[in-house]
Amino acid sequence: MHTARTAATPAGWTPPVRAASGATPGRQPGAAPRALSLRLWFWLDALALLLSALAAARPLSVPDEGRYADISRWMLMSGNWLVPRLDGLPFFQKPPLTHWLQAAGMAVFGVHPWAVRLPGIALALLMIFMTVVAVRRMLGNALAERAALMLGTSIAVLIGAPYVNHDMGVAAWISVAIWSFALAFAHGERPHAGWAYVGFLACALGLLTKGLIGVALPALVLFVWISWTRQWRKAWRLPWTSGLALFAIVALPWFVWVGLRFPGALTYLFWVQQFDRYIGTEFNNTQPWWFYLADLALLLFPWSLFAVMEMFRSVRRRRAPAPAPRAPANPWKTLCWIWLAVVVLFFSIPSSKLIGYAFPALPPLAVLAAFGWHRCMRGRGHAARWFVTLAAVPMLTAVVLTPLYPAIDTHGAAHEIGLELRPRLAPEDVVLVAGGYPFDLPFVARTRTPLVVLQDWPQQRRTAGDVWQRELFEAGDFEPALAARILRTPDLLPKAALQPHRWLVVRTLPDGRGPSIPPAWRPVARGPSWALYQSSPAPASASAAHGQASAPLPESRSAP
């Protein structure tokens, strides 16, 4: 029998797990965690296979997947793993870890959307696995396995894990960091050094994935939790010196090198791309304050309904008069509530909101949903059958929607044009684009040189908002000489049409209209959103008369 405690937890407390009526399901106090069940291992393997199949079932989406996949391809193609490049220009909106992992995947499995999606899948599985490890130590095997099943069968994982961007990766490292430090606190008077080192390492990898958010969110969640449970004495006993040294050794070398090699790059990465985006109001994707409440409800549907039930039950329990002193709140359940609240509040402050920003809140929400399921289904027959039925809803949704994506894409993918261009493209060829930027084209066509992008760039610098043109000219500011050869104006079109080894990709509207094309460009293919043209080289004397040698175009590189 456990003695009553105050709600504020003493510093040296190692949490028991209550098994009384209405309390946490799972192992008895003091019992060692059992190994993961064969059923759970089988399910994790099946989930990995399903995610891999979904990753291979559709082309890249634009702009995000096309952008980030080709940055990673360029890294592999060029052999320069230190400078992420978009269309050959230094791209410092994000740190490089995601691109290192994606480039490594392509080095092993080839340049394919499936290969570039593997790191996101692996990191989602890591997030699920770490949730199981932590929750079974704190709250018991039954709750841990239930939470893992809910997390793995969520739309967030089924669609978000095979999606090529940084959101699932940073969510995984944030989750590993929070769970690891929590596990360190679960080992008596002195925190467990090994788990603390895992936490410091995860923070370093989070920083290398998406910048300050990879450190700020775990720190904020743990600060609030430690303060709430009064564990500051234990917190001071963490291996701060060696842990911070490990963090610095892993995280800082790339940032130091980039800061020295590209003056202004760190200011751009941390201030412009993070602080400005957090406090600014001029960026895209403005959403109402309640956006992430609805977002999380859909991302974890239908399991989020059980988390809502658990929330209402907790509120009613706190408001109801108690005939005797209540047992203290379970600190691990408190951690989940704090974790969820901090992430939602933190990302609700900016006016710009994106679906994937809520991913770090998924593990605690899944744990709370598992609590709700236990209370709702306890004593009821056919609970397993109901669970399988509900799990089928998001899984079937993902399986049906994934192959249909190309039919519902409205962002102007150039997949068909890329497939037309790839077998025709010679190493010395140069591809020009007008009317937009086909983010997926370089990856699909396996281009060896940067695309020459035709825009009124002086005008774009004066007027461009949060649009793709800004991505390119801000990247070009770090290498102006190279940018002058890549970011060109439309008056190049007539000259390039008479040069050999030139291709033109033009954005077309649904009604077939597009930019005016000089007649010397010969049409080759037309897709839903883009058209492909080839130059018609003139004799050498005519070429000289047109004065084509106004500025060199990008040099060819070897393909991977």
Q: Residue 552 has what pLDDT?
A: 55
Residue 556 lies in a domain: no
State pLDDT tens for residues 131-172: 999 999 999 999 999 999 999 999 999 999 999 999 999 999
How far is it, in rounded angstroms, from Cα 387 to Cα 390? 5
Are both 148 and 257 inside the same structural domain? yes
Are both 311 and 374 inside the same structural domain? yes
Residue 25 lies in a domain: no
The reported pTM is 0.89
Return the residue matching tokens 């070009």: 476
Mean pLDDT for the stretch of residues 282-305: 91
Mean pLDDT for the stretch of residues 346-373: 95
Q: Please state, in angstroms and as integers, the Cα–Cα distance from residue 77 to each residue in 27, 88, 330, following that order.
A: 52, 11, 52
Residue 487 lies in a domain: yes
Residue 16 lies in a domain: no
Are both 210 and 342 inside the same structural domain? yes
What DSSP designation does 286 have? B
Q: Residue 281 has what pLDDT?
A: 75
Q: Residue 14 has what pLDDT?
A: 44
Mean pLDDT for the stretch of residues 358-364: 98
Residue 29 lies in a domain: no
Neighbours of 108 (CB within 10 A): 9
Residue 14 lies in a domain: no
Highest mean pLDDT among 7-11, 312-316, 456-460: 456-460
Phi, psi of 420 (to 5 degrees): -65, -40
Residue 463 lies in a domain: yes
Q: Residue 29 has what pLDDT?
A: 39
In this prediction, residue 20 has a pLDDT band, given cuts at 50, 70 and 90, of very low
The share of the chain scoring above pLDDT 70, in percent, equals: 86
Are both 361 and 440 inside the same structural domain? no
Name the domain count of the chain. Answer: 2
Range of the domain at 256: 38-61+92-320+327-405
Mean pLDDT for the stretch of residues 275-286: 82
Last residue of a domain, one of 357, 384, 405: 405
Residue 218 lies in a domain: yes
Mean pLDDT for the stretch of residues 520-544: 80
Q: Residue 208 has what pLDDT?
A: 98
| Mean per-residue pLDDT over the chain, rounded | 88
State pLDDT tens for residues 214-252: 999 999 999 999 999 999 999 999 999 999 999 999 999
Are both 167 and 291 inside the same structural domain? yes
* 443 Cβ contact list (under 8 Å, min separation 6): 60, 66, 69, 70, 73, 111, 113, 418
Mean pLDDT for the stretch of residues 269-296: 88
Are both 210 and 350 inside the same structural domain? yes
Signed CA dihedral, 466, 469, 471, 474: sign only? negative
In this prediction, residue 321 has a pLDDT band, given cuts at 50, 70 and 90, of low
Q: Which of 10-24, 58-72, 406-420, 471-485 has the lowest mean pLDDT?
A: 10-24
Q: Residue 515 has what pLDDT?
A: 75
Neighbours of 267 (CB within 10 A): 13
- Helix axis angle for 167-185 and 362-377, nearest 10°, is 70
Mean pLDDT for the stretch of residues 443-464: 94
Are both 135 and 52 inside the same structural domain? yes
Last residue of a domain, one of 355, 370, 405: 405
Last residue of a domain, one of 405, 435, 470: 405
Q: Residue 146 has what pLDDT?
A: 95
Are both 365 and 447 inside the same structural domain? no
Q: Residue 464 has what pLDDT?
A: 81
In this prediction, residue 49 has a pLDDT band, given cuts at 50, 70 and 90, of very high
Are both 542 and 467 inside the same structural domain? yes
pLDDT at 543 over 90: no
Are both 237 and 342 inside the same structural domain? yes
Q: Please state, in angstroms and as integers, the Cα–Cα distance from residue 485 to each residue in 214, 492, 518, 534, following that order.
A: 36, 11, 21, 20
Mean pLDDT for the stretch of residues 278-295: 86
Output helix, strand, coil percentages for the chain, rounded to the nearest 5: 60, 5, 35
Are both 202 and 266 inside the same structural domain? yes
In this prediction, residue 466 has a pLDDT band, given cuts at 50, 70 and 90, of confident
Q: Residue 31 has what pLDDT?
A: 45
pLDDT at 558 over 70: no
Are both 383 and 482 inside the same structural domain? no
Q: Residue 5 has what pLDDT?
A: 39
